[in-house]
Chains A and B, each alone.
Chain A
């Protein structure tokens, strides 16, 4: 039988990965709201976040409080460049085409990462020295706490940004109605670029937080990125609240199912749950189910 302490343990690790899924999912939503496309390079933002952190912290010996924001900044710039150099010059505005541009960019980025950082796994140290703590019978590390804390902080900062800054409001206006926003004098192209930059920053944050727990390699972001996509879909694509809810729900469910039933089938549980949820509610938790207009 599974004891309470074990369940508490699963919940703890579920919340940790769930937070990371939520960060990635918000990144997907930001890009979707600005452009209506799925950015399949989101997972690579996550990889790059971890890899840059490794280069700053381990290779160059830059202190943690500087290498973390440094990694986030670099990936934010890469995100902006993806929009500026690959999506904006695209000859077609068709969604499918744009989505596959992000897939091609993802292949290219993974090739570059492999070239720069090599194929082998690297060990990224946690933000603060590992000292296992006990709470309600569950053992957790300071890194678990960091993940939760920084995720909450990111979400709070994003909310403040979108509510109170001019740029934040302009990004929201662009998402709501690009034409009207442009008529009001908003540089919508720039806002789209900022959205990609923010998505990059969120991906990098997720990467720098989770790779000390999982492992770090050039392709680590692929599967976490897909889970983040699943979380966004589960929550209702484009909704921030949905992304957070979807991420945490997916993380918890996955961790509990893996712990109590079978860890080999962890991904099966996650995606079967996702499919079942979609079949019952085709628009996700918070999504507005689109009405057919004839």
Chain B
């Protein structure tokens, strides 16, 4: 129910053990690949969930940060020969700067205006990815991104990348959890519940919002860099507004403002379209239908719904 205290770390250790054991059972590269994409989504959604759940701001522009991370890493390593590991940090720093520049004026906006501004940002970035084809390869994408190397091992095989990306994802979740229970995090939660009260007790509202916006952008950027080095090819379509919508949907379906919610949202929605491929041309209809039913009847998200079911017994245990 709460991600504070010891229970978070117990569940986290369990999860890490399960994730570590999976490759012993699952050897099919196709499944491993899907799990790797789940981990990439977990990274982005964890950051995004901090913004949505704690600061109460919806961003429909995070696929742009995801893409900027991917393209910065991809182009600098592929065209300019920079070392891959270094460019991940460089891309993250560059995206952080951009998020700061955009965040300051954007986060002053409210509701629909904020949604529009983030959407607009994503569309602008998307057009540049397509149009600057000397640099980005245009609509067909940028190919030839070298893989990451660790201890002489190439991180583009599904199994090697599995270890790397899940380590990053779980570390990201732990960091986010610690941030949520730090001074900044308490300020954020106060902000979500009542901005006025938070301001009254001295939480620097604007600055806290911008900080968490940057934090979430950096998560998206790191996921993007990892994505680029894993696949070796990146296309603008991967980072369009539909991706942004998909990412926010993961937060909502899983449970807004809950770290586990983000995790389960990503774990549920990522493989769903692949599973629905079975229905071929009907897959979009079924996907939309499932989303619709979940949103109408389970607005608290998967994690919230489970909590509600177990709340009775949980209370007695406390």
Contact = CB atoms under 8 A, between A and B. Distances in A.
A90 B296 contact: yes
Contact of A104 (B52, B110, B116, B288): B288
Interface of A is mostly: helix
A274 B283 CA distance: 35
Interface in B111-128: 111-113, 115-117, 119-121, 123-124, 127-128
A89 B296 contact: yes
B288 A107 contact: yes
Contacts of A104: 249, 288, 291-292, 295
A97 B295 contact: yes
B207 interface: no
A38 B115 contact: yes
Interface string A84-107: 001001111011110111011111
Given A91-B296, A226-B119, A96 B256 contact: yes
Given A90-B295, A96-B58, A104-B292, A38 B110 contact: no
A47 to B, nearest CB: 14
A271 B119 CA distance: 9
A278 to B, nearest CB: 6
A272 interface: yes
Interface string B115-144: 111011101100110010000000000000
A267 B123 CA distance: 8
A194 interface: no
A111 B249 contact: no
Interface string A213-235: 00000000000001001100100
B287 interface: yes
A109 interface: yes
Contact of B288 (A32, A105, A267, A293): A105
Contacts of B110: 282, 290
B18 interface: no
Contacts of A110: 284, 288
B288 A108 contact: yes
Interface string A176-206: 0000000000000000000000000000000
Interface residues of A, number: 48
B158 interface: no
A276 B196 CA distance: 28
B26 interface: no
A100 B288 contact: no
Interface string B179-203: 0000000000000000010011000
Nearest to A32: B112
B271 interface: no
B289 interface: yes
Contacts of B241: 226
B113 A107 contact: no
B108 interface: yes
Contacts of A89: 296
A135 B108 CA distance: 45
Interface in A77-135: 86, 89-92, 94-97, 99-101, 103-112, 114-115
Nearest to B256: A96
Given A294-B196, A294-B199, A107 B123 contact: no
Interface of B: 52, 58, 105-106, 108-113, 115-117, 119-121, 123-124, 127-128, 131, 196, 199-200, 241, 245, 248-249, 252, 256, 281-289, 291-292, 295-300
Q: Ordered nearest first, which 6 A-B pairs have the shortest CB separation?
A: A108-B288, A111-B284, A92-B299, A107-B288, A104-B291, A111-B285
Given A92-B300, A94-B299, A233-B113, 18 more contacts: A89-B296, A91-B296, A92-B299, A96-B58, A97-B252, A97-B295, A100-B295, A101-B292, A107-B287, A107-B288, A111-B283, A111-B286, A233-B112, A264-B131, A267-B127, A268-B123, A279-B106, A290-B110
